[in-house]
Amino acid sequence: MSDTIKYLLDESRIPKAWYNIQADLPQPLPPVLHPGTGKPIGPDDLAPLFPMALIQQEVTTEREVEIPEPVREIYKQWRPTPLFRARRLEKALDTPAKIYYKYEGVSPAGSHKPNTAIPQAFYNKEAGIKRISTETGAGQWGSSLALAGAFFGLEIKVFMVRVSYNQKPYRRALMESYGATCTPSPSDETESGRAILAKDPNHPGSLGIAISEAVEVAAKNADTNYALGSVLNHVLLHQTVVGLEAMAQMEMAGDYPDVIVGCTGGGSNFAGLTFPFLGEQLRGGKKVRVVAVEPAACPSLTRGKYAYDFGDTAHLTPLVKMHTLGSAFTPPGFHAGGLRYHGMAPLVSHLKELGLIEAVAYHQKTCFAAGVQLARSEGILAAPEANHAIRGAIDEALKCKEEGVSRTILFNLCGHGHFDMQAYIDYFADKLVDQHYDEQELAMALAGLPSVSA
Amino acid sequence: MSDTIKYLLDESRIPKAWYNIQADLPQPLPPVLHPGTGKPIGPDDLAPLFPMALIQQEVTTEREVEIPEPVREIYKQWRPTPLFRARRLEKALDTPAKIYYKYEGVSPAGSHKPNTAIPQAFYNKEAGIKRISTETGAGQWGSSLALAGAFFGLEIKVFMVRVSYNQKPYRRALMESYGATCTPSPSDETESGRAILAKDPNHPGSLGIAISEAVEVAAKNADTNYALGSVLNHVLLHQTVVGLEAMAQMEMAGDYPDVIVGCTGGGSNFAGLTFPFLGEQLRGGKKVRVVAVEPAACPSLTRGKYAYDFGDTAHLTPLVKMHTLGSAFTPPGFHAGGLRYHGMAPLVSHLKELGLIEAVAYHQKTCFAAGVQLARSEGILAAPEANHAIRGAIDEALKCKEEGVSRTILFNLCGHGHFDMQAYIDYFADKLVDQHYDEQELAMALAGLPSVSA
């Protein structure tokens, strides 16, 4: 047991460029469409919301996109993140498998989200923007953008779903500690918010409404832009620092993954770890099985339709082709708030269609059981989202045991659970329920998908 | 701004031995006395509570105490911890000072406490012990020992002060996630607990009562030992991994501290960082100013008496010579629960008497202001305890600015504040009060100190 368990890179090894999988795709990504015309949108359509640098990153097919030096400088605060060999977990499982995990919880905000919050803030600052508006559900994304705002001197305006705002005061306090303004949504600060409140003054809010409010604020104020924490190509691009580092660390370990596992909500932490390895394979390098683990209560990859759909419930966004449960679908209120999204990142969806990745869905209780097993053997208590990846990785390791073969498994432990302790309290009190979505609601939401000829 | 900001050591650089300052003291530590006889106690007096290895570490004057390999193996999970150069904070303060901080919040339990919890669990396991009982207030120590128990397969029984048990369910959930049993104290499981409950069934509990319960359980069960998270010599010894690593990291930075700042409650994180540097000085090496920062509402070093006193309110412990406010003193309920102790570690007290360290006391609001300033410039949101060290370090940096001189300041950021967000919520809502202790109560507590001739 005196072998290395932690693979660390010097900060000089922080990648100098993000990896863009669009350069290596066997078929290009379907275009993003304008909902009015049904025609592909251009950069100008997005200019009111995003700085041009990010719009360019959204569509570029260059393999490498240089990471600006000021971004790398801030990445140094916590990057390169450690890669662990989970020897105690392997022993507890009595498996011949080798299990590695990349740990993104060491960032100041506690997850992988700052990997994209920092460059998004940087490019906005460069473009002369003074303020960024965004939405947040559980608060992982909002607190990461708040951190980025503090570093770059940008005002951050977060619309937080009202029910979460009231139930999760700790994440909100973290955002405020970083100097961000956190407003419960629906609010009376926007037209969209006021319209909802006029009908129901006690509306609990939804991610869809919060997006509408954040987009409205950005669209109406020239000094304000909008930022999204997942789904979009440039967000997934920024997350590839995770996988690029992991490749170097697996090399340090003298190993290479046979299977890579990540949890998927919007798809960004999954893409961040897996895309560099998939790129290697697409360019003729080593093959790797890639498994996306999603919540059974919101199973876009395993039960959704690959179709054009809106990114939000209020239909303010362009149409993107993705695995979707329909923008009218409302997932049950399970604890992994970061995985409660009706759609999947277009790039992840595209790879699924091309047969390059697999997907599996788990209910939450078995994921919490896996998280507790990891905590007791490795010490790290993971976020409910990350528990899905842990479940997937443990099941792969148990499969190895059953088959009597050793495989190398790598998974992404994308964040810690320090702000999610109520979920663990409920789990130990046996109050967690494995919620099922309403089949009829799903059928209706899918039937209501916009019809697009493209 | 493209200089190094994070100094990382390879895991092979985890110290192989703890540093024992007792080897370099110009005068030996006064002996621990038996409260009944007034005579120095021997190892046998402590044997019902601690394994012999720890009792030996309590009194040894060997300079180096070897760290067992299984302990180093677990240290690898998060050690060596990073040393940061706080360049953004320096810039925000516009100071010529160079500010470095050692960050212990990267441990799975979020503070420096596992540095001693792991070896304590190891030595108990080696001694054939099945269970360890302990007390906890806010829960930093309890969760660290729970983690250590999970790693070594030991049952951990934590008596948690009832008012904290009810107010801080998240720390409790963390302990339970690691498999520990957490009991609100006073409980009906011990004689001491039942006696209190008989008088007041709704007694809110106190650290003193929780200690009594934990000690009673250990004393009455041959398979059970007791563990303490601070104050004792062996606990401070284990924490010196912090300072030993920091010395190597300062060398990497090509720098050496002029001033070292740490917060003090029982004294363990302070000792951990500063003792190796003080040892260097005591052996004729470079001199360093060492500043202990304590809460003004519980100021043992600045307002206490250097005298023999009990370690607990129930008078179950031996008598130790230390700076004390009297074991009958009850500090006000400020947020830095880890600093609410009536006494100071005998070793820290001894160094203060010898003039080798300074002490300063701050009220909590200015410490929270310092913590928020650090969060906005460095990203890390510190525990309320650590905010005291931040305040001290910032004030040293501002002094440099005033004097127009550059000094190198090093402080210990001993833990993150993820489980202390209510304190930040109160701070931002301007609900925090700078509580003063009762001068009359202090006078009475000091008047009631045991009279010992030694």
- Measured between beta carbons, the chain B residues lying within 8 angstroms of A16 are none
Q: How far is A263 from chain B (nearest CA, A)?
A: 21
The predicted pLDDT at position B204 comes to 84
B143: Cα separation from own chain's centroid: 14
What HEC string does chain B produce?
CCCCCEECCCHHHCCCEEECHHHCCCCCCCCCECCCCCCECCHHHHCCCCCHHHHHHHHCCCCEEECCHHHHHHHCCCCCCCEEECHHHHHHHCCCCEEEEEECCCCCCCECCHHHHHHHHHHHHHCCCCEEEEEECCCHHHHHHHHHHHHHCCEEEEEEEHHHHHHCHHHHHHHHHCCCEEEEECCCCCHHHHHHHHHCCCCCCCHHHHHHHHHHHHHHCCCEEECCCCCCHHHHHHHHHHHHHHHHHHHHCCCCCCEEEEECCCCHHHHHHHHHHHHHHHCCCCCCEEEEEEECCCCHHHHCEEEEEECCCCCCCCEEEEEECCCCCCCCCCCCHHHCCCECCHHHHHHHHCCCCEEEEECHHHHHHHHHHHHHHHCCCECHHHHHHHHHHHHHHHHHHHHCCCCEEEEEECEECCCCHHHHHHHHCCCCCCCCCCHHHHHHHHHCCCCCCC
Residue B106 and residue B57 share a domain: no
Give the count of domains, chain A. Answer: 2
Q: How far apart are CA A70 and CA B1, in angstroms?
A: 8
B175 pLDDT higher than 50: yes
The predicted pLDDT at position B3 comes to 65
Residue B221 and residue B320 share a domain: no
The predicted pLDDT at position A3 comes to 66
Polymer length in residues for chain A: 454
A99: helix, coil or strand?
strand
Q: What is the mean pLDDT of residues A239-243?
A: 98
- Residue B413 in contact with partner chain A when CB distance is under 8 A: no
Contact A150 B379 (CB under 8 A): yes
Interface test with A, best of B171, B172, B176, B177 (most A CBs within 10 A): B177
Q: Is residue A14 part of a domain?
A: no
- Interface TM-score (ipTM) > 0.90: yes
Q: Of B209, B230, B251, which one is at a domain's C-terminal end?
A: B230
In angstroms, the Cα distances linking B354 to A154, A250, B27, B28 are 49, 51, 9, 11
A454 pLDDT higher than 60: no
Contact B177 A70 (CB under 8 A): no
Q: Is residue B428 part of a domain?
A: yes
- Residue B426 in contact with partner chain A when CB distance is under 8 A: no
Q: What is the mean pLDDT of residues A121-128?
A: 98
Contact A11 B11 (CB under 8 A): no
Q: Is residue B359 part of a domain?
A: yes
- Residue B49 in contact with partner chain A when CB distance is under 8 A: no
The predicted pLDDT at position B33 comes to 95
What residues pair up with A308 in beta bridges, in sequence order? A321
Task: Indicate the average pLDDT of chain B.
Answer: 94
Residues 6+ apart with CB under 8 A from A292: A262, A263, A264, A267, A270, A301, A348, A352, A357, A358, A359, A360
By Cβ distance, the residue of A76, A176, A381 closest to B428 is: A176
The predicted pLDDT at position A312 comes to 78
Instruction: Give per-residue pLDDT as tens, B287-308.
Output: 999 999 999 999 999 999 999 9
Reported as a pLDDT band with limits 50, 70 and 90, residue B453 is low
Q: Is residue A451 part of a domain?
A: no
Reported as a pLDDT band with limits 50, 70 and 90, residue B454 is very low
- Measured between beta carbons, the chain B residues lying within 8 angstroms of A174 are 381, 421, 424
Q: What is the mean pLDDT of residues A347-371?
A: 98
Pairing verdict, β A131-136 and A155-161: parallel
A195 pLDDT higher than 50: yes
Task: Indicate the average pLDDT of chain A.
Answer: 94
Instruction: Give per-residue pLDDT as tens, A71-97.
Output: 999 999 999 999 999 999 999 999 999
- Residue A422 in contact with partner chain B when CB distance is under 8 A: yes
Would you say the C-alpha torsion A419, A424, A429, A431 has a positive or negative sign?
A: positive
C-alpha closest to that of A427 among A373, A349, A356: A373
B414: Cα separation from own chain's centroid: 9
Residue A39 and residue A133 share a domain: yes
CATH assignment at residue B427: 3.40.50.1100
A1 pLDDT higher than 50: no
Residue A353 and residue A223 share a domain: no
Q: What is the mean pLDDT of residues B20-46?
A: 95
Cis peptide before A80 (omega within 30 of 0): yes
- Residue B48 in contact with partner chain A when CB distance is under 8 A: no
Q: Is residue B6 part of a domain?
A: no
- Measured between beta carbons, the chain A residues lying within 8 angstroms of B110 are 418
Q: Of B230, B261, B292, which one is at a domain's C-terminal end?
A: B230
Query: Rounded to the nearest 5 degrees, what angle is found at the Cα of B177, between the Cα atoms of B173 and B181?
Result: 75
Instruction: Give per-residue pLDDT as tens, B70-126.
Output: 999 999 999 999 999 999 999 999 999 999 999 999 999 999 999 999 999 999 999
Residue of A nearest to B79 (CA): A6
In angstroms, the Cα distances linking B160 to B138, B169, B209, B210, B339 are 8, 11, 10, 7, 16
Domain of residue B123: give its range: 22-70+113-230
Q: How far is A415 from chain B (nearest CA, A)?
A: 12
Strands (E), A189-315: 224-226, 259-263, 289-295, 305-310
Residue B394 and residue B407 share a domain: yes
Residue A40 and residue A66 share a domain: yes
- Residue B106 in contact with partner chain A when CB distance is under 8 A: yes
Residues 154-183 (A) with a CB less than 8 A from some CB of B: 169-170, 173-174, 176-179
The predicted pLDDT at position B235 comes to 98
- Residue B189 in contact with partner chain A when CB distance is under 8 A: no
C-alpha closest to that of A389 among A298, A255, A264: A264
- Residue A220 in contact with partner chain B when CB distance is under 8 A: no
A46 pLDDT higher than 50: yes
Contact B77 A378 (CB under 8 A): yes
Q: Is residue A207 part of a domain?
A: yes
Residue of A nearest to B82 (CA): A78
Residue A121 and residue A261 share a domain: no
Q: How far is A177 from chain B (nearest CA, A)?
A: 6
Q: Is residue B451 part of a domain?
A: no
pTM of the model: 0.95
Q: What is the mean pLDDT of residues B178-204?
A: 93
What HEC string does A274-308 produce?
HHHHHHHHHCCCCCCEEEEEEECCCCHHHHCEEEE
Q: What is the mean pLDDT of residues A365-383?
A: 97
Q: What is the mean pLDDT of residues A143-168?
A: 94
Number of neighbouring beta carbons within 10 Å of residue A70: 17
A191-199 and A207-220 helices, crossing angle to 10°:
140
Residue A239 and residue A224 share a domain: no
